[in-house]
Amino acid sequence: MYSFGSLAESPKTVLEPLAEISHRFGAISLAQRLEEIKVWLMDDLVILEQDIQQSSSAEGDLADRAASHLLHQPGKRIRPLCVVLAARIGGQEMSVDVRNLAVACELVHAATLLHDDVLDEGTERRGADASRVLYGNSASILGGDRLLIEALKRVQSTGQNELLSRLMDVIAVMVQAEAIQLERRGEFVPDSAQYMEIISGKTASIFEWGLRAGGVVGGLDEAAVSALSSFGMNLGMAFQMADDVLDLDGDPEVTGKNAFADLRDGKLTWPLIVACEEDPSIEPVLRAVARSPAALTGERSREIRELIVGTNCLEATRERARQFAAEAEAELAKLPESSATEALKAVVSVAINRGV
Amino acid sequence: MYSFGSLAESPKTVLEPLAEISHRFGAISLAQRLEEIKVWLMDDLVILEQDIQQSSSAEGDLADRAASHLLHQPGKRIRPLCVVLAARIGGQEMSVDVRNLAVACELVHAATLLHDDVLDEGTERRGADASRVLYGNSASILGGDRLLIEALKRVQSTGQNELLSRLMDVIAVMVQAEAIQLERRGEFVPDSAQYMEIISGKTASIFEWGLRAGGVVGGLDEAAVSALSSFGMNLGMAFQMADDVLDLDGDPEVTGKNAFADLRDGKLTWPLIVACEEDPSIEPVLRAVARSPAALTGERSREIRELIVGTNCLEATRERARQFAAEAEAELAKLPESSATEALKAVVSVAINRGV
């Protein structure tokens, strides 16, 4: 049914970027576990990767090309992987429905990246030029629109109307989180409740949906689906907090992110909130940065970064991420142990150990 | 169930903008027919208008406000009106489902306007500042995303899965038409087949869907639904061609459009295609304009406009619009005559006589 020819040239399979990260940070045993998962799921991962890359045509119109460029960059594919693993818990191996739900997850994520890069005037994404740099803002907007619709159509094709309805809600919540973030641009208010609302909307909600989708299509009962959803929500929160740490602590070569990019974009992150709590003199400094991010030169940027990481904020954020990870694992413990639950545990470890 | 309080301040009901246009152009009998329809459908129109305006909150986040600003401008509401009339053909008066399908039609249209104004850097819309001018491009992008999802959710709520699937296809086709238009920016190629593809995608497809939706929820049989869909497609084509004429011939005060805006934006219109056919020397002139629209000063703009309207292109376009209108009426003739079919005929007349 599938032709694998074109994937011979595809340099990265799904877990390689994740395994690479673990290797670089010396988490060898974690990398080994990922390697094992990779071998175990190889056929599924090849199908997924091919389907993701073929969701948009590099020879199509401008919107297609903008979408295709992003989809061909090596992403972590952590969301579709979660869907596949959740479906396996119910004993459901890769089917057309599993594949459509998994790919839908990645396409929604990709659509938000295309739109976000326009919103944030981002120039790089996944270590390459952002689509908007190559094809323009307009193509990125239309490319995002197209991927959203493609994702919704794939979910509808499964006949799971409740999942479709929930995915629409997730997209609405993602848009809302972006809108709040947009509204707060130019301000810096270390509001931890709002922070949690934003990351649960923009990051965790699609993880929650993906795990639910896998569970539903895997035929699990309501209690198990609910545990998986909650696992997904907690995994997503942990994942985003680890991302926050990378913004201040990571090596841009590895993370594919510009150091300090969140602060420049006026995005609230957990380390900044903790830093202000620990040292109230930091708050006015960050407020000034938020007001005029362009004035943040290299020298001043280093000074402020030192001020922030001089507090306990990075460790406190890692600790909070570990708490979410522990809550995720507690949800997983409600399900019978299997290779799939073990693999999901490895995903959690990778999510929080990216920036170890 | 509904509170009409806030509508006391709402100056325009659905058909007023249409009736006003007819009045100004002296089409008195047409205006009278619209007046009668307005009285007949008053309750429905008030509910629709209220629902459309309340689909987004003027006190919400930036995305909400961008959407709300557009939805509060007096639009023609011709799409939702068509849905209501199609449902009436089957004897279905205003129900929650009819309302949701009708409002969905308008919200999809509004979402594309929000995104298109970002794509085209439009500054005015419906005679007021474009949302992007007031709230920024980012808010308009997110506002459009939100309205798209809101529209899809409303359609899903009716339980009409096939209509939902078709609406997703329509949105995909609208995006594709925009992408082709975007790709052709900076060029001028008087390709009539491509023109028909673009306007059928960006304008007629949502009319087709709206008429189908009304017919389906009105309980009509397949043949009747098919006739209504085809009516909608032809109405949409006629509507867009009349719009093309306005771009060259209309009074911006009445149409709410900047004269010559399509040509400046590099959009292919039917009059331009006809003008080039009649006078091949016009093609290189328009190609030059497409290449550097900013160089089109007032004086040069008037000269080129005279060159174009000096051909028979406006009358030829009106004639082509009348043909589509006749095809629409032929489809309508397959249905039993009723007040609703009469009203749809009036809508067709208004669509092609806006620029008389």
CA dist B355 and B242 (Å) reads 7
CA dist B132 and B36 (Å) reads 37
With an 8 Å Cβ cutoff, are B148 and A146 in contact?
no
Question: What was the pLDDT predicted at B32?
Answer: 74
Which of A117, A134, A152, A267 to mutate: most B Cβ within 10 Å?
A: A152
Question: What was the pLDDT predicted at B35?
Answer: 76
Cβ-based neighbour number of residue A162 at 10 Å: 9
- Whether B353 and B25 have beta carbons less than 8 Å apart is answered as yes
Helical spans, DSSP H, in chain A: 16-24, 28-53, 62-72, 78-89, 96-120, 131-135, 137-157, 161-183, 192-199, 205-217, 222-249, 252-255, 261-264, 270-278, 282-291, 298-309, 313-332, 339-353
Give the phi and the psi of residue A255 in degrees, each rounded to 5: -80, -20
Answer whether residue B259 shows pLDDT above 90.
Answer: no
- For chain B, say whether A148 makes contact (Cβ under 8 Å): yes
With an 8 Å Cβ cutoff, are A175 and B146 in contact?
yes
Question: What was the pLDDT predicted at A2?
Answer: 31
CA dist A300 and A294 (Å) reads 11
- For chain A, say whether B168 makes contact (Cβ under 8 Å): yes
Answer whether residue B28 shows pLDDT above 70.
Answer: no
Contact residues, chain B, for A64 at CB < 8 Å: 179
Task: Using the Cα atoms of residue A183, residue A188, residue A189 and residue A195 in order, give the sign of their dihedral.
Answer: positive
B13-353 CATH pick, 3.40.50.720, 3.40.50.1360, 3.40.50.2000, 1.10.600.10 = 1.10.600.10
How near does any CA of chain A get to the CA of B253, in Å? 29
Encode burial over A226-248: b for 16+ CB neighbours within 10 A, e otherwise.
ebbbbbbbbbbbbbbbbbbbbbb
Q: Which chain B residue is nearest to residue A137, measuring alpha carbons? A: B119
Question: What was the pLDDT predicted at B8?
Answer: 33
CA dist B185 and B267 (Å) reads 7
Residue B119 is nearest to which of A138, A153, A161, comparing CB atoms? A138
Contact residues, chain B, for A182 at CB < 8 Å: 61-63, 136, 138-139, 142
E strand or H helix at B198, and its extent? helix B192-199
Q: Tell if the pTM clears 0.95, that is, is over it.
A: no
CA B165, chain centre distance (Å): 21
pLDDT tens digits in sequence order for chain A, 356 residues long: 233 333 333 334 445 666 665 555 555 666 677 778 878 888 888 999 999 999 888 888 999 999 999 999 888 889 999 999 999 999 888 999 999 999 999 999 999 999 988 888 888 888 888 899 889 999 999 999 999 999 999 999 999 999 999 999 999 999 999 999 998 888 899 999 999 999 999 999 999 999 999 999 999 999 999 999 999 999 999 999 999 998 888 655 555 455 567 777 778 999 999 999 999 999 999 999 888 888 777 788 888 888 999 999 999 999 999 999 999 999 999 999 999 999 999 999 988 987 43
How near does any CA of chain A get to the CA of B244, in Å? 23
Q: Which residues share a beta bridge with B129?
A: B124
- For chain B, say whether A137 makes contact (Cβ under 8 Å): yes
Burial class (CB in 10 A: 0-12, 13-18, 19+), B329: middle
With an 8 Å Cβ cutoff, are A139 and B64 in contact?
no
pLDDT-derived band at B252, boundaries 50, 70, 90 = low
Question: What was the pLDDT predicted at A6?
Answer: 36
With an 8 Å Cβ cutoff, are A152 and B152 in contact?
yes
Which of A141, A169, A187, A267 to mutate: most B Cβ within 10 Å?
A: A141
Q: Which residues of chain B from 212 to 231 reach within 8 Å of chain A, CB to CB?
A: none
- For chain B, say whether A153 makes contact (Cβ under 8 Å): yes
- For chain B, say whether A154 makes contact (Cβ under 8 Å): no
Question: What was the pLDDT predicted at B264?
Answer: 74
Contact residues, chain B, for A142 at CB < 8 Å: 115, 119, 175, 178-179, 182
Contact residues, chain B, for A62 at CB < 8 Å: 179, 182-183
Per-residue pLDDT of B88-124, as tens digits, reads 999 888 999 999 999 999 999 999 999 988 888 888 8
pLDDT-derived band at B42, boundaries 50, 70, 90 = confident
With an 8 Å Cβ cutoff, are A142 and B178 in contact?
yes
Answer whether residue B12 shows pLDDT above 70.
Answer: no
Per-residue pLDDT averaged across B195-212, rounded? 97
Q: Which residues of chain B from 296 to 315 reach within 8 Å of chain A, CB to CB?
A: none
Answer whether residue B38 shows pLDDT above 60.
Answer: yes
With an 8 Å Cβ cutoff, are A145 and B183 in contact?
no
CA dist B32 and B13 (Å) reads 16
- For chain B, say whether A28 makes contact (Cβ under 8 Å): no
Per-residue pLDDT of B319-344, as tens digits, reads 999 999 999 999 999 999 999 999 99
- For chain B, say whether A54 makes contact (Cβ under 8 Å): no
Question: What was the pLDDT predicted at B250?
Answer: 60
Please state the domain extents for chain B.
13-353
With an 8 Å Cβ cutoff, are B183 and A62 in contact?
yes
Q: If DSSP codes are grouped into helix, strand and coil, which group holds residue B81?
A: helix
Q: What percent of chain B has pLDDT over 70?
A: 87
- For chain B, say whether A265 makes contact (Cβ under 8 Å): no
- For chain B, say whether A254 makes contact (Cβ under 8 Å): no
User: Lowest-pLDDT range, A165-179, A216-230, B11-25, B214-228?
Assistant: B11-25
Contact residues, chain A, for B175 at CB < 8 Å: 63, 142, 145-146, 149
CA dist A333 and B247 (Å) reads 65
With an 8 Å Cβ cutoff, are A175 and B64 in contact?
no
pLDDT-derived band at B2, boundaries 50, 70, 90 = very low
Contact residues, chain B, for A149 at CB < 8 Å: 168, 171-172, 175
Cβ-based neighbour number of residue A121 at 10 Å: 12
Which of B114, B141, B180 to mutate: most A Cβ within 10 Å?
A: B141
- For chain B, say whether A62 makes contact (Cβ under 8 Å): yes
How near does any CA of chain B get to the CA of A261, in Å? 18
- For chain B, say whether A194 makes contact (Cβ under 8 Å): no
CB pairs under 8 A between A and B: 110
- For chain A, say whether B52 makes contact (Cβ under 8 Å): no
Question: What was the pLDDT predicted at B3?
Answer: 32
How near does any CA of chain A get to the CA of B313, in Å? 30
Contact residues, chain A, for B178 at CB < 8 Å: 63, 142
Q: Which chain B residue is nearest to residue A168, measuring alpha carbons? A: B149
Shortest CA distance to B232 belongs to which of B347, B320, B337? Answer: B347
Question: What was the pLDDT predicted at B253?
Answer: 53
Pairing of strands A124-125, B128-129: unpaired
User: Lowest-pLDDT range, B48-57, B107-116, B278-287?
Assistant: B48-57
Which of B148, B154, B162, B167 to mutate: most A Cβ within 10 Å?
A: B148
Q: Which residues contact B317 (CB under 8 A, 6 or more apart)?
A: B241, B244, B245, B269, B270, B271, B274
Question: What was the pLDDT predicted at B196?
Answer: 97
Q: Which residues contact A81 (CB under 8 A, 6 or more apart)?
A: A14, A15, A41, A45, A48, A102, A347
The string of DSSP codes covering A86-97 is HHHHTT--S-HH
Contact residues, chain B, for A136 at CB < 8 Å: 182
pLDDT-derived band at B57, boundaries 50, 70, 90 = confident
pLDDT-derived band at B164, boundaries 50, 70, 90 = very high
Answer whether residue B301 shows pLDDT above 50.
Answer: yes
